[in-house]
């Protein structure tokens, strides 16, 4: 925000603009690009700072201009009926454009772009009906910055079950191997560098609560280094089932034991009398098996097997574009990186969709390796494992998706 004569510029402008006619303001006693004095008197001035018209106390229809102290153009704004309307362009002091966007009736509309001072694009996105539907970001060197909405980290390998709708049915995980502490820290440190501030789910094809010291250590590191991130845990509840506890008691006990913002207890066996959806303050939900929603054969791993046994329903196969690899990062307990929750290192058909190991490459490098795949599924051109995918648009595959099992809709 800029200042004029020790006041925020909007305040000074409000106090000094005419009811009608030309408003022309000159720089005076310049401190820096954003601070200093101003005058309405040409003879006192040190170059034009603002110029636009007023009509009945509102900005008149048409452009408004602002200049840097250097004399270079800083902004062109467009107004109609006292509202932002039309093209708004900003420039850096070196003459490079810094942003361009369009307003319609006081709201963002259509494409918007921002640039660094070196001319490199900083971000580009689109607004539709005043809602941002997409934005891509780049570093100053042109490197695209991944904007994951959800990150799954498998902090250890073990699951006590082999559910027939899970790829653990084919590749059981009844052994305990913890993710290396250094590997976990490397992931979190990279996310700190990327400024990640959304959701981390501390589970994948494992049962997180089978190893409380592990999950608590990892959650504590996330809390410490990424304080804005929300932590999610999904559990089969087996480690808290004893003694005929109902769902409420179980949720209370789990919440005492772990520090998570979202907890989902899967009632796969339909054992709990009580069923509830997300509770308002604690983010706790219990899901019964039949309310899970779109079942998916995990990128073909379960095609014709387990829950997806004969007759295999090919009517359900995905036809719509997929944005999962743009929005999801998944790292298994060995550090293997992929961008879809379905892919696993154990399945030979998925090997081309494991884009490296965090011990060898960075998340951004893996993301770059996945560019062709990401762009392809976003255009509904599906490689083999995706050809069997029944994951319906909705989770990460529409403009305003939800995380988890429709847990929350968010941008
Ligand atoms: S409990 Fe969860 S991770 Fe374990 S086999 Fe079942 S669905 Fe898979
Ligand atoms: S189409 Fe299915 S398997 Fe392929 S990336 Fe998307 S969600 Fe994953």
Alpha carbon of 305 to ligand 2 centroid (Å): 19
Find all residues with CB under 8 Å of 237, minimum gap 6, and list them.
209, 250, 254, 265, 266, 267
Q: Please, what sign has the CA dihedral across residues 128, 134, 135, 136?
A: negative
Place of tokens 């049962």: 207
Note the pTM of the prediction, 2 decimals.
0.72
Closest ligand to Cα 264: 1
Q: What is the mean pLDDT of the chain?
A: 87
Closest ligand to Cα 208: 1
Residue from 168, 269, 296, 346 to probe ligand 1 pocket by mutation (most atoms less than 8 Å from CB): 168
Q: Please, what sign has the CA dihedral across residues 171, 173, 179, 180?
A: negative
pLDDT value for 281: 53
Place of tokens 């490459």: 361
End-to-end CA distance of the chain: 26
279 has a pLDDT exceeding 90 = no
How many CB atoms are located within 10 Å of the residue 9 CB? 19
pLDDT in tens, 283-340: 677 776 665 556 788 999 998 899 888 777 777 788 778 888 988 999 999 999 999 9
Report which of residues 358 and 324 the model is more confident about. Answer: 358
Q: Residues 162-186: what's their mean pLDDT?
A: 97
pLDDT in tens, 201-219: 999 999 999 999 999 999 9
pLDDT in tens, 56-82: 999 999 999 999 999 999 999 999 998
Q: Which of 377, 252, 249 is nearest to 320 (CA)?
A: 377
Q: Please, what sign has the CA dihedral across residues 254, 260, 261, 267?
A: negative
Residue percentage of the chain with pLDDT more than 90: 59
pLDDT value for 50: 96
Q: Which of 402, 387, 404, 249 is nearest to 319 (CA)?
A: 387
Q: Residues 224-252: what's their mean pLDDT?
A: 87
How many CB atoms are located within 10 Å of the residue 326 CB? 21
CB distance 109 to 133 below 8 Å: no
pLDDT value for 399: 43
Confidence of residue 22 (pLDDT cuts 50, 70, 90): very high
Residue from 389, 394, 395, 398 to probe ligand 2 pocket by mutation (most atoms less than 8 Å from CB): 389
Q: Which of 299, 239, 293, 292 is nearest to 268 (CA)?
A: 292
CB distance 119 to 107 below 8 Å: no
pLDDT value for 310: 75
Alpha carbon of 299 to ligand 2 centroid (Å): 7
pLDDT value for 127: 86
Residue from 327, 342, 343, 373 to probe ligand 2 pocket by mutation (most atoms less than 8 Å from CB): 342
Ligand 2, atom nearest to 396 Cα: 7
How many whole angstroms separate alpha carbon 30 and alpha carbon 79? 28
Highest mean pLDDT among 113-127, 151-165, 244-258: 151-165
Alpha carbon of 201 to ligand 1 centroid (Å): 15
Conformation bin of residue 120: beta by default, left when phi > 0, alpha when psi is -120 to 50: beta
What is the H or E stretch that residue 126 is in?
Answer: strand 121-128
pLDDT in tens, 86-105: 999 999 999 999 999 999 99
Query: Which phi and psi angles does 301 have, rounded to 5°?
Result: -55, -35
State yes or no: cis peptide before 71, omega within 30 of 0.
no
pLDDT value for 293: 56
Q: Which of 297, 329, 318, 316 is nearest to 377 (CA)?
A: 318
Query: Which phi and psi angles does 151 have, rounded to 5°?
Result: -125, 125
Cross-strand partners of 27:
38
How many whole angstroms separate alpha carbon 202 and alpha carbon 264? 12
Q: Residues 20-25: what's their mean pLDDT?
A: 96
Say which DSSP state 350 is in: G
pLDDT value for 397: 44
Residues having CB within 6 Å of any atom of ligand 2? 299, 318, 322, 324-325, 340, 342, 377, 382, 385-386, 389, 391
pLDDT value for 73: 97
CB distance 366 to 337 below 8 Å: yes
Residues having CB within 6 Å of any atom of ligand 1? 159, 161-163, 166, 168, 205-207, 236
Helix spans in 267-392 (H): 324-327, 363-369, 371-377, 384-387
Alpha carbon of 59 to ligand 1 centroid (Å): 61
Bridging pattern class, strands 144-145 and 131-138: antiparallel
Residue percentage of the chain with pLDDT more than 70: 90
Instruction: Determine the angle formed by the axes of helices 181-194 and 212-225, rounding to 10 degrees.
Output: 30
Confidence of residue 138 (pLDDT cuts 50, 70, 90): confident
pLDDT value for 315: 77
Alpha carbon of 383 to ligand 2 centroid (Å): 9
Rg, C-alpha atoms of the chain: 27
The region of weakest confidence among 112-126, 165-179, 347-361 is: 112-126
pLDDT value for 410: 37
């Amino acid at each position: 925000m800029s200042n004029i004569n020790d006041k925020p510029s909007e305040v000074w402008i409000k106090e000094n603009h005419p009811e009608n006619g030309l408003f022309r303001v000159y720089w005076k006693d310049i401190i820096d690009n954003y601070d200093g004095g101003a005058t309405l008197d040409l003879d006192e001035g040190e170059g034009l700072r603002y110029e636009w018209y007023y009509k009945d106390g509102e900005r008149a229809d048409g452009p408004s201009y602002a200049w840097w102290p250097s004399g270079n153009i800083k902004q062109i704004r467009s107004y109609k009926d006292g509202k932002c309307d039309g093209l708004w362009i900003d420039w850096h002091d070196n003459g490079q454009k810094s942003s361009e966007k369009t307003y319609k009736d006081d709201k963002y509309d259509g494409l918007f772009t921002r640039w660094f001072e070196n001319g490199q694009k900083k971000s580009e996105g689109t607004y539709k009906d005043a809602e941002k539907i997409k934005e891509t970001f780049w570093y100053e060197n042109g490197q695209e910055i991944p904007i994951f909405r959800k990150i799954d980290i498998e902090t250890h390998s073990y699951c006590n079950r082999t559910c027939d709708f899970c790829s653990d049915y084919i590749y059981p995980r009844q052994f305990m191997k913890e993710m290396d502490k250094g590997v976990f820290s490397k992931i979190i440190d990279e996310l700190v560098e990327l400024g990640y501030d959304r959701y981390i789910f501390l589970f994948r094809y494992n049962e997180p609560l089978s190893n409380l010291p592990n999950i608590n250590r990892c959650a504590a590191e996330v809390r410490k280094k990424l304080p804005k991130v929300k932590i999610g845990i999904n559990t089969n509840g087996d480690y808290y089932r004893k003694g005929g506890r109902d769902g409420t008691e179980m949720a209370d006990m789990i919440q005492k034991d772990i520090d998570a913002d979202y907890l989902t207890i899967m009632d796969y066996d339909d054992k709990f009398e009580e069923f509830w959806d997300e509770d308002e303050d604690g983010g706790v939900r219990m899901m019964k098996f039949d309310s899970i929603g779109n079942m998916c054969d995990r990128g073909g791993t379960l095609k014709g097997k387990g829950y997806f046994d004969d007759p295999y329903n090919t009517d359900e196969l995905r036809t719509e574009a997929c944005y999962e690899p743009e929005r999801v990062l998944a790292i298994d307990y060995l550090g293997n990186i992929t961008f879809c929750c379905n892919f696993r290192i154990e399945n030979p058909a998925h090997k081309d969709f494991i884009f490296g190991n965090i011990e060898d490459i960075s998340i951004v490098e893996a993301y770059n390796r996945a560019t062709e795949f990401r762009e392809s599924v976003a255009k509904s051109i599906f490689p083999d494992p995706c050809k069997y995918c029944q994951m319906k648009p909705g989770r990460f595959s529409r403009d305003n998706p939800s995380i988890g099992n429709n847990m929350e809709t968010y941008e």
